[in-house]
Amino acid sequence: MHPLDAPVLAALTGPHARFAQRRGTALRYPPEVSIWAVFPDDAQGWRDAEAFGTVSLAGEPRARREGWEATMRLPGVQLDGSGMAVVPDPGAVVLGPADVPEMLDLVARTRPGPFATRTIEMGTYLGIREGGALVAMAGERMRPAGWSEISAVCTAPAARGRGFASRLVRAVGAAIRARGDVPFLHAAADNVAAVALYEHLGFTLRRRLEFAEFRRCGSQG
């Protein structure tokens, strides 16, 4: 199986094994790191996942199982960055733990996708500041062996239209390539503007998939 066929599994049993929380055949990131989980789509897998209460999945669409409710289903795309032209950006700064409150604020205002208090531990995050304020950022999320997902690409509304997202995607891609990995990313299929930007940067469609969240009936989390 190609690592990108099951990126959550490949990451949590590979470079991100230190994050893995396991319940039988079910694996997930700690919720404060990332929302993603993975388990076999069979009776045992779903029983094991009951310990998590709520699970977020990225992959082939799954039918809802008895005792669970589907709280989110979102068509998505997986894009391969093998052909992207990467370049470091001297204007970008490396973001660290002290920057997390600003990063969370920027994410809340721009909604690029899941980002929590410890997501920054998943990889390198770069930002652009103007007047001391963080106005754009991008970083790494899942890391299947040999690959790294570019994620949390976002720009404050007042700073859009100036190429910050393109600069940061290329710069994060340069950091990924420097250690011998290949960049990839996920996006909502209906986010036409974002997908067009990534294709302009050299990403190509690898496959379509679904982002889904299932909650165990009666569970609070």
pTM for the structure as a whole: 0.94
CATH class as words, domain 79-205? alpha beta
Asked if 138 and 125 count as a contact pair (C-beta separation under 8 A), the reply is: yes
Separation CA 148–CA 79 (nearest Å) = 12
CA–CA separation, 196 and 186 (whole Å): 13
| pLDDT tens series, the chain, 221 aa | 899 999 999 999 999 999 999 999 999 999 999 999 999 999 999 999 999 999 999 999 999 999 999 999 999 999 999 999 999 999 999 999 999 999 999 999 999 999 999 999 999 999 999 999 999 999 999 999 999 999 999 999 999 999 999 999 999 999 999 999 999 999 999 999 999 999 999 999 999 999 999 999 976 65
Segments of the chain assigned to CATH 3.40.630.30: 3-77+209-216, 79-205
Homologous superfamily (CATH) of 3-77+209-216 is: Gcn5-related N-acetyltransferase (GNAT) (3.40.630.30)
Residue 32: predicted pLDDT: 98
Which pLDDT score is estimated for 221?
A: 54
- Structure tokens belonging to residue 181: 């990995």
Q: What distances in angstroms separate CA 29 from CA 32, 34, 66, 121, 151, one per listed residue?
A: 8, 6, 24, 12, 16
> At a CB cut-off of 8 Å and minimum separation 6, what does 91 contact?
128, 167
The pLDDT score that the predictor gives to residue 8 is 98
